[in-house]
Amino acid sequence: MRTRALAAEFVGTFMLVASVLGAALFSFPTAGILGVALSIGFTVMAMIFAVGAISGGHFNPAVTLGLVAGGRFAAGNALPYIGAQCSGGVCAAFVFYLIAIGKGRGFEVGTFASNTYGGPGGYSLFSVFLIEALLTAFLVFVVMGVTSKQAPVGFAAIAIGLTLAAIQIMAIPVSNASVNPARSLATAVIALGEPLAQLWVFWVAPILGGIIGGLLARWLIAEQ
């Protein structure tokens, strides 16, 4: 496993989580859901262009495991990638926590833009699990498709970034949009409490969805 590849995954996931927290903590509600979604989509697009050639630009344990299921990534390299992604995400969350507590009128951690389910006015565990699994399957399916030999060259990062932005628009009202276990871990370890207790959902559902998406793409988008 190349150190540069792990460093690229660390940096890419750091910036992904930064895009979530920067938009959600500082620009929301002025920017709205669309602003948060575009922040995430554009950041991932840029990072894939920047370091995708080094590591493949996963930035997401569910994508890594989905690509393993799809036959595009070696299973033996998955754990180091996931470790780098989780480390990058947690570091970003800690940095943005330090920024947030510098607010003049004080800062309440609350859920710290974490992923949760239930509660007053919230969606059920079933609804959250289903949307997280479904949309992660969709994300991995797109990743597999746009990086196949049949796909137009040079457009993968754009397609993936726009797909992720669309996913955020769909899922933020339901689960605050995870589709990425590293992103969920990063904010939960700052918020603690309920977000940390519910973290398992935002690991199991995206990973299950990622594997389904990878297997479906492996069958449907067969390399010629």
Residues 17-33: tens digit of each pLDDT: 999 999 999 988 888 99
DSSP state of 25: I
Question: 3-state DSSP call for residue 7?
Answer: helix
Q: How far apart are CA 107 and CA 97, in angstroms?
A: 9
Q: How far apart are CA 120 and CA 156, in angstroms?
A: 40
- Provide the whole-model pTM: 0.96
How distant, in Å, are the alpha carbons of 156, 212, 214 from that of 220?
18, 12, 10
Residue 119, pLDDT > 90, answer no
Look at residues 63, 35, 32, 34 and name the one whose alpha carbon lies nearest to residue 47.
63
Residue 164, pLDDT > 60, answer yes
CATH architecture label of 3-220: Up-down Bundle (1.20)
User: Residue 197 has which token pair?
Assistant: 């207790």
Report, as an integer, the average pLDDT of 122-135. 98
Domains in the chain: boundaries: 3-220
Residue 224, pLDDT > 70, answer no
What was the pLDDT predicted at 56?
97
Residue 168: HSE in the Cβ half-sphere, 13 Å Cα cutoff: 25
Question: 3-state DSSP call for residue 28?
Answer: coil
> Directed axis angle between helix 181-191 and helix 3-21, to 10°?
60
